[in-house]
């Protein structure tokens, strides 16, 4: 019985440590300043910082799934590895464009934040940036 209690307490400690580590990672990597610190997104960051979105939404608010912590962690891990690889091996595309998976995430986040504005609009076959091309990066 004593051994089972030790194992249970150890597992609880590992879980608590992991939860704190994930929360800390989200806090550090969730800022727009972090995104631009090692990114080649200087012009996008500059345009965003002068937009109305800069006071309401950061990079992660738009570019990372917000449904749940598992989706958020998976996307941040996957995208983080992809970004490091592209940067390290000089494979950053110019211009940078959203991949289909990222388009879906950004679209979901546009609708999530602007739900009252778009609830009566048919979004069938359309993306927000079809009409709002320069939002928030100004291209």
Task: Give the domain ranges of the chain.
Answer: 31-123
* pLDDT value, residue 89: 92
* pLDDT value, residue 94: 82
CATH number for the domain formed by residue range(s) 31-123: 1.10.3820.10
Chain position carrying tokens 């631009």: 36
HEC secondary structure over the chain:
CHHHHHHHHHHHHHHHHHHHHHHHHHHHHCCHHHHHHCCCCHHHHHHHHCCHHHHCCCHHHHHCCCCCHHHHHHHHHHHHHHHHHHHHCCCCCCCCCCCHHHHHHHHHHHHHHCHHHHCCCCCCCCCHHHHCCCCCCCC
Structure tokens at 30: 């969730």
- Tens of pLDDT, residue by residue over 40-73, are 788 888 888 888 898 999 999 999 999 998 999 8
* pLDDT value, residue 39: 67
Which positions of the chain have pLDDT values less than 50? none
This prediction has a pTM of 0.77
């Amino acid at each position: 019985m004593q051994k089972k209690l030790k194992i249970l307490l150890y597992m609880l400690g590992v879980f608590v440590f992991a939860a704190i580590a994930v929360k800390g990672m989200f806090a550090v990597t969730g800022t727009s300043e972090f995104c631009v610190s090692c990114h080649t997104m200087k012009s996008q960051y500059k345009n965003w910082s002068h937009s109305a979105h800069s006071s309401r939404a950061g990079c992660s608010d738009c570019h990372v799934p917000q449904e749940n912590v598992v989706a958020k962690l998976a996307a941040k891990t996957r995208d983080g590895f992809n970004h490091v690889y592209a940067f390290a091996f000089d494979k950053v595309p110019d211009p940078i464009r959203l991949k289909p998976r990222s388009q879906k995430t950004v679209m979901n986040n546009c609708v999530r934040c602007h739900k009252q504005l778009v609830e009566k609009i048919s979004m069938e076959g359309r993306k927000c940036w079809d009409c709002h091309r320069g939002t928030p990066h100004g291209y």
